[in-house]
Amino acid sequence: MQRVKQKIAIVTGAASGIGAACAARLAQEGALLVVADLNLEGAQEQVRRINEAGGHAVPAQVDIGDESSIDALFDLTLKTWGGLDILHNNAAATSLSSTVDAAVEALDVGVWDDTMRINLRGTMLASRCALPLMRARGGGSIINTSSGAAQAGALGYSAYGVCKAGIEALTRYVAAQHGKEGIRCNAIAPGLIVTPVTQAYYAGETGEMMLSHHLTPRLGQPEDIAHAVVYLASDEAAFVTGQVFNVDGGLLSHQPYYADEIRARPAAMANATKGKA
């Protein structure tokens, strides 16, 4: 089934990880794609894979921290495919969050400013460019990538968590302002997703500790997010807008002592669930 057949889509941050999986899945479902990333070679490689598999995609280099670069991306999309139906705002400056983001007291103001400029401002600018193109086609779907970090505090990653909370608020504002035009806007908040970049980090004891806080028997895969993106992009989600979908294996849906309780009472937990589907 091709749920987004002939729909025109942009996926940012699509050279690897979650974005690459989302682009590949949209292509499988029939979308005409612009695969956009700061890493042009990576975007080109992803396009090669999509097209060899029978899809239709073109690469684009985009710096979502640069307004003119974003404008050029949408110009390319219009010239190549003639419009826009789907925008997946997935790109983010993950190198900042993984290296220099910190607790508030230790946070460099420049890191805060760069995180907001690239992640939050970039998502706003891309959405602003998408709106008139979608309006011209009678509607469309904007899908933003948020994070569980927007919904619960942690010891670090302060700027990242706050910018993602801003993206969730932006999602609701765009949905409210443009719903009557047939333009929907939703966000997905991934949990812990294992990608080539994060695989080593989640290996061993760290991965076991992370997994203990999930309700599922495994951590997430990029394809888990891709399935949700295709749904939100498709007409199946025509009555869904202004929502944040947590695709996180139940990470934020349980009591804070869940993992400790399982460790303390393994036998009791096993007996409690015995025989249940």
Residue 275 lies in a domain: no
Nearest to 234 by CA among 12, 14, 23, 30: 30
Given a contact cutoff of 8 angstroms between Cβ atoms, the answer to whether 187 and 120 are in contact is no
In the chain, which residue ranges form alpha helices assigned H by DSSP? 17-28, 40-52, 67-81, 94-99, 109-115, 122-136, 158-178, 204-211, 222-233, 258-264, 266-273
Confidence tier at 277 by pLDDT (50, 70, 90): very low
Query: What are 143's two structure tokens?
Result: 């899908």
Burial of 86 (0-12, 13-18, 19+ CB in 10 A): buried
Query: How far from the centroid of its chain's Cα atoms is residue 224's Cα?
Result: 11
Given a contact cutoff of 8 angstroms between Cβ atoms, the answer to whether 48 and 252 are in contact is no
Q: How many domains does the chain have?
A: 1
Q: Degrees (nearest 5) of the Cα angle 247, 192, 118?
A: 90
Residue 2 lies in a domain: no
- Domain of residue 133, residue span: 8-202+218-254
pLDDT at residue 206 in the model: 85
For residues 19 and 252, give the distance between their C-alpha atoms in angstroms, rounded to a whole number.
Answer: 23
Residue 62 lies in a domain: yes
From the list 160, 173, 201, 231, the catalytic residue is 160
Return the CATH number at 26: 3.40.50.720
Residue 237 lies in a domain: yes
Residue 265 lies in a domain: no
Residue 259 lies in a domain: no
Burial of 223 (0-12, 13-18, 19+ CB in 10 A): middle
Q: Is 160 a catalytic residue?
A: yes
For residues 101 and 98, give the distance between their C-alpha atoms in angstroms, rounded to a whole number.
Answer: 7
Task: Classify 22 as helix, strand or coil.
Answer: helix
pLDDT of 154-200, one tens digit each? 888 899 999 999 999 999 999 999 999 999 999 999 999 998 878 88
pLDDT of 35-90, one tens digit each? 999 999 999 999 999 999 999 999 999 999 999 999 999 999 999 999 999 999 99
pLDDT of 197-228, one tens digit each? 788 878 888 888 989 999 999 999 999 999 99
Residue 105 lies in a domain: yes
**φ/ψ (deg, to 5) at 62:** -140, 140
Residue 261 lies in a domain: no
Task: Classify 117 as helix, strand or coil.
Answer: helix
Dihedral sign for Cα 214, 242, 165, 125, please. positive
